[in-house]
Amino acid sequence: MGARADDPYRPQRLAEWLHRLPHVNASFKEVDSTFDPDSAVYLESLGILASVPAAWLIFTLFILLLYLLTRCCDRKPRPAKSISALKITLAVMSVLCCGVVGLGLYGNDDLHNGVVQALNQARQIDGLVQKIRNQTEAIERQLRVQAKADFAVIRTIFDVPPVSNISALKEVEGHFKRLMDNNTQAANAASDIRTPLMALDIIPKIETGEKLETIRWPFTMTILSILLILCVILVVGVARHNRCALIAFSVCGLLAVIASFLLSSVYLASTVALADFCMAPEKFIENQASADLSREILRHYLNCERARANPFTQRLREAKTTLENMRIELSLIKPKAVKLFPNKGLEQKFSSLKNEINTADTIGTQLTALVDCRTLYTHYLRGTRALCNLGLLGLTYMLISAVLAGLLMTVLVWVDSHTWIYIRKKKDYQQVNEADPYLPPPAATQAIAARTLQRSQGQFPGAPPDTPPPSYAHAALLRPPPMHVAASAPVHEADLLLDGCDTRAQEHHRGAAQMAHLRGHTLGRLPSHHHHHESVSGPNNGKYATLSKQCKTLESSDFY
């Protein structure tokens, strides 16, 4: 940004390329591409350019609608390999989309910096113009107010009764008249410098630009941050195989596609408009300037050509010349007037008048440096280059980012909608009650515990006092009782359960001798080395216990 006063402004090549884009009206006839926001034809050409991304958005939404209509009901089972390929595609495209959104954030920062620098340089120009106005106003105040007050007092002294030396009085009055005329000329020269600058008021435009940038920058940051969050949601959904996250992205991603292409329309029109402005910014400034501000003055300060004379320099020279003439006239009138009107206080008035002339001359010297075109032109170059180099580049990045984000979001929505329909919804974990269905209820548990205690004490019929309660193994390995035993002894409860048929009312417990014989054995085969002479019978002829297929399904409480 190190602009020098002798460096002419040249538009960037990027601005030239964008400026060459066709500017056509609704009839597709080419129109003037000069930046002119007040022209309806020019605005129409920008609208035609902005409609290109909008038309692509409509086409994209139509294609997505057709795709979703054909695929939303497709629930054919897919092999895991094909879904994995879709998930990898989603992950890669999401990372690319994050990079594209990052490019938009970078461009937004560049555009913001360019706009802020341009507005700051505009404030510097306004401050410089304000200083010139203040300095010229100070000169006018010195000459029109304070000097005239001294002139009025001196005039009053000269109006006293005629003095004896009439010729000397006329000479003094001649000097006094020339003194007043020079004073008026110097004040008029200062006024001629200040008056055209009063029409140059750029503060309202600067404040409007600052307000718009204050709104635009955080709004753009918010939109791009939301796009990043959507990409992160998609990556998390792919990584965790989360169907809900993928469905949410399908909906929000569609909104992101719409937002991206709408932003593309705005950015395309804005980029082309800024490029048109950057091709000839001085022409736009001249057209926007007030009619009271001379075009000659504007051209001088916007180009700062050394061959062209400064329009204010001549008036400043006139002011300094008249101030110098005032000093001469004051030095001539002072001794003669004091001699003609002694003891009238003229010396004090002439000294005050001399001080005012010196003050005005000092301000004029400072004003000479202020009206030099090089200072203002330097601020103009810095502001223009900040907006047309850095700002235009950032806006171009944002345009590229919005277009690519729209395309990538379209692909992501398409692939995501193709992926989540093949991901089955996970079954929710059921809450397990404290009372396990495979455990008996508390009341049954207490009853079984009581029966077990009784049996362990030998309180069931037909068993010795020290007989332990029969186990499932005992019941499974017991042989069928003889007819005379079956008729007299009750059948144990476990036998009925293991056989699976509810014949408790018809069968009786096996003999105590058989229980004693089987005491201590566990589930499995009967040991053959104890009683070889006995033939083992029972539900499975001595094999492992099984459940009967002809009976009801056992309940959990039947085992206790």
> Are 319 and 189 contacting, i.e. CB atoms less than 8 angstroms apart?
yes
DSSP 1-14: ----TT------HH
Distance CA 77, CA 82 (A): 10
Q: CB under 8 Å to 476, separation ≥6 — which residues?
A: 498, 523, 538, 539, 540, 544, 545
Q: Give me the residue label for tokens 């100070």.
A: 138
Q: Are 235 and 253 in contact (CB under 8 A)?
A: no
User: Cα-flanking dihedrals φ and ψ of residue 77, to 5°?
Assistant: -65, 135
Among 269, 262, 270, residue whose Cα is nearest residue 47: 269
Q: CA 445 to CA 557: how far, in whole Å?
A: 9
pLDDT in the model for residue 452: 52
pLDDT in tens, 151-186: 888 888 888 766 677 888 888 888 889 999 999 999
Predicted confidence at residue 442, as pLDDT, reads 53
Question: Which structure tokens are listed for 100?
Answer: 């594209």
Q: How many residues does the chain have?
A: 560
pLDDT value, residue 425: 57
pLDDT of 218 reads 93
> What's the confidence (pLDDT) of residue 173?
87
Contact by Cβ (8 Å): 379, 370: no
- Which pLDDT value is given to residue 500? 42
Q: Quick check: helix, strand or coil at residue 558?
A: helix
Determine the pLDDT at residue 80: 53
Backbone angles phi, psi at 428, to 5 degrees: -75, 145
**3-class DSSP assignment, residue 30:** strand
pLDDT on residue 501? 41
Residue 103: the pLDDT is 95
Residues in the chain, pLDDT under 50: 1-3, 5, 427-434, 436, 453, 456, 458-463, 465-466, 471-479, 482-556, 558-560
pLDDT recorded at residue 161: 65
d(CA 461, CA 478): 18
Strands (E) located in 235-290: none
pLDDT digits over 521-536, tens only?
444 444 444 444 444 4
Among 438, 483, 48, 29, which residue's Cα sits nearest to residue 269? 48
Distance CA 381, CA 401 (A): 29
pLDDT of residue 389: 93
Of 315, 407, 297, which Cα lies nearest the Cα of 364? 315
- Contact (CB, 8 A) for 388 and 13: no
Helix or strand run (H / E) with residue 370 = helix 346-370
Rounded alpha-carbon distances, angstroms, from residue 434 to 22, 520, 559: 77, 34, 20
